[in-house]
């Protein structure tokens, strides 16, 4: 090759490069302030910065991917609700979702940094370089914070689901029903849950369930009836086909003992039956809860499907995580206090204070706990009513804003709060049913103490079963205490201040809407 030929070859390449330089300089001659503005726009619309910086094909690809993901997310959110719910309660899918969220955040940051490098001027002063770098750093921080928060929230949900709800193969229950996982309520017109408030505080031996409430839910409408059982009932029955019926044919009671037997109260069953007859119902992760399910169902004439056990300390934490609850207080409610007699006592002492009466009282976790459990100087039925009102207020307090902003705290409290035999496999159906309950009627079933259980020693369970059967039977036409047949479009956020004259006192055995039962009525005394 001649010298002239080599020289010609060396000169030909620069001509090609120089032909593209004017176009690239056009993108790089803008000011730093304009480059920062375009970087901000490119952060809001990933890929746009590549287009403006001359990398049109790459920019088009990133923008197409970005808008495609947005459209897919909108489509799934609007039309595939069941799939979203299933994802929210599947630990393996939640782990993949966490990885996807973090990957998207990292890629987003990479796009922002790369876009700024293309958009910034070729010649930069030290001030300009620092300003651009600082702004990009803030943008990346603004992306990293919500991405990390989202990933932590998803992991909190996974931890909650995995910690509280076990799969059927990883858990044991002697009383849990077998249902079709795809449609659990197909053959279940009413779902019956027993809610247990476990009081295992300092000074108590074992666990006593001072709160026992049965929630009977219409799986079609979400309408719910709450039925409270008194903690000092004795002779709690068992179904004839239960092994416990052979041990206690006349109910949970010692026929050779005295008339009043605290160790045979309803609230002592959880701890004492497993001690007396371990494994009598079969393999179980919670023998006390299984015994209570069987007995509460026999007392009320219901088949109890699942239990939900609430630890009172966790209850306090979850109320605080939600920002408190709003209730009407109709009479002074004691904070603390002990009669000094019966099981679990720490000796006689007076309450340290009182929650004062008033409408729409905002309570924190500690005060909400005492509103639900305070009983010094008050009757058990009044405490049961306050417990139902607390549940009602808790449901109404679970608004989207509180759930989004405090979900990690709620999930952490929920893990300490709950114990249940509800399996992971039916959680999507439970969430759907829970959404119905929030917008449906929640009522109290009055068991009419004056007629049906004048004392805890000999409750009239047969009469109670008749009342419950009447209360939850499908209604052919609306009655005074039921809501309008036209469904409501929004849930009630607060209990009413005054009870309705037509619904505040329904006939015994008829359900009473909790908006009326929990209304402000200063004429009540709590006795």
The length of the chain, given as a count of residues? 527
**pLDDT band, residue 492 (cuts 50/70/90):** very low
In this prediction, residue 405 carries a pLDDT of 59
- pLDDT tens-place string over residues 449-475: 777 777 788 899 999 999 999 888 876
Residue matched to tokens 């077998």? 178
Q: For residue 488, name the pLDDT band (cuts at 50, 70, 90).
A: very low
Determine the pLDDT at residue 491.
Answer: 44
Residue pointed to by tokens 């910034």: 120
The DSSP symbol for 328 reads E
pLDDT at position 370 over 50: yes
pLDDT for the residue 445:
87
Of 70, 78, 24, 76, nearest to 45 by C-alpha is: 70
The residue among 227 and 32 whose pLDDT is bigger is 227
pLDDT band (50, 70, 90) for residue 205: low
Residue 434 — pLDDT band, cuts 50, 70, 90?
A: confident
Which pLDDT score is estimated for 253? 93
Question: Which pLDDT does position 202 carry in this prediction?
Answer: 43
Tell me what pLDDT residue 497 has.
56
More confident residue, 83 or 427: 427
The C-alpha torsion from 144 through 146 and 147 to 151, rounded to 10°, is: 130
Q: Is 406 exposed, middle or buried (0-12, 13-18, 19+ CB in 10 A)?
A: middle
**Looking at the predicted structure, is the pLDDT value of residue 340 above 70?**
no
Separation of alpha carbons 281 and 286, rounded Å: 11
Residue 239 pLDDT > 60: yes
Question: Smallest Cα–Cα separation from 361: which of 389, 400, 395, 398?
Answer: 389
**Confidence band, pLDDT 50/70/90 cuts, at residue 19:** very low
Mean pLDDT rounded to a whole number for the chain? 81
pLDDT (0 to 100) of residue 332: 92
pLDDT at 430 over 60: yes
pLDDT by residue (tens digit) across 385-406? 888 888 888 877 766 555 555 6
What pLDDT sits at residue 203? 45
**What's the average model confidence in pLDDT over 161-185?**
87
Quote the pLDDT of residue 17.
47
Between 343 and 74, where is the model more confident?
74
Which of 401 and 1 is assigned the larger pLDDT?
401
User: What average pLDDT score do residues 2-30 get?
Assistant: 48
**Per DSSP, what are the bridge partners of residue 355?**
333
> pTM for the full model?
0.71
Query: Residue 526 to residues 141, 167, 333: CA-CA distances in angstroms?
Result: 55, 43, 8
Q: Please tell me the distance from the alpha carbon of residue 450 to that of residue 470, in angstroms, as a whole number.
A: 18
Mean pLDDT of 116-137: 85
Whether the predicted pLDDT of 246 surpasses 90:
yes
């Amino acid at each position: 090759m001649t010298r002239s030929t080599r020289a010609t070859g060396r000169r030909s390449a620069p001509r090609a490069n120089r032909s593209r330089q004017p176009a690239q300089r056009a993108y790089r001659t803008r000011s730093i302030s304009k480059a920062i503005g375009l970087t901000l726009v490119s952060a809001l619309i990933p890929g746009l910065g590549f287009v403006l910086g001359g990398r049109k094909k790459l920019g088009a690809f990133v923008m197409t991917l970005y808008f495609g993901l947005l459209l897919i997310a909108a489509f799934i959110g609007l039309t595939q609700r069941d799939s979203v719910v299933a994802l929210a309660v599947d630990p393996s899918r939640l782990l993949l979702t966490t990885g996807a969220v973090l990957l998207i955040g990292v890629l987003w940051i990479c796009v922002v940094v790369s876009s700024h490098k293309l958009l910034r001027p070729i010649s930069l002063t030290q001030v300009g370089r620092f300003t651009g770098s600082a702004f990009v750093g803030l943008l990346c921080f603004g992306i990293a914070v919500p991405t990390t928060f989202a990933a932590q929230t998803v992991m909190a949900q996974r931890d909650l689901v995995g910690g509280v709800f076990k799969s059927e193969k990883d858990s044991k229950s002697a009383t849990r029903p077998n249902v079709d996982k795809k449609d659990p309520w197909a053959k279940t017109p009413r779902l019956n849950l027993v809610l247990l408030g476990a009081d295992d505080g300092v000074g108590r031996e074992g666990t006593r369930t001072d709160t026992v409430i049965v929630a009977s839910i219409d799986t079609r409408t979400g309408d719910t009836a709450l039925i409270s059982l008194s903690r000092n009932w004795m002779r709690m029955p068992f179904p004839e086909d239960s092994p416990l019926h052979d041990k206690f044919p006349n109910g949970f009671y010692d026929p050779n003992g005295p008339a009043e037997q605290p160790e045979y109260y309803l609230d002592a069953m959880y701890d004492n039956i497993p001690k007396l007859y371990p494994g009598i119902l079969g393999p179980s992760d919670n023998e006390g809860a299984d015994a209570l399910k069987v007995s509460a169902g026999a007392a009320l004439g219901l088949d109890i499907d699942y239990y939900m056990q609430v630890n009172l300390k966790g209850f306090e934490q979850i109320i605080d995580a939600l920002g408190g609850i709003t209730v009407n207080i109709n009479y002074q409610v004691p904070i603390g206090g002990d009669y000094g007699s019966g099981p679990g006592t720490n000796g006689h002492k007076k309450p340290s204070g009182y929650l004062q009466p008033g409408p729409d009282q905002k309570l924190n976790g500690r005060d909400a706990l005492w509103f639900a459990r305070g009983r010094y100087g008050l009757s058990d039925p009044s405490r049961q009513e306050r417990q139902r009102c607390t549940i009602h207020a808790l449901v109404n307090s679970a608004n989207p804003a509180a759930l989004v902003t405090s979900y990690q705290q709620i999930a952490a409290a929920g893990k300490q709060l709950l114990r249940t035999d509800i399996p992971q496999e039916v959680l999507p159906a439970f969430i759907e049913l829970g959404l119905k309950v929030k917008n449906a009627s929640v009522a109290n079933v009055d068991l009419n103490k004056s007629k049906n259980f004048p004392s805890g020693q000999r409750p009239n369970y047969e009469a109670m079963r008749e009342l419950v059967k009447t209360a939850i039977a499908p209604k052919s036409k609306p009655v005074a205490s039921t809501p309008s047949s036209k469904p409501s479009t929004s849930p009630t956020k607060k209990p009413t201040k005054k009870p309705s004259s037509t619904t505040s006192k329904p006939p015994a055995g008829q359900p009473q809407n909790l908006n009326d039962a929990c209304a402000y009525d200063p004429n009540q005394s709590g006795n």
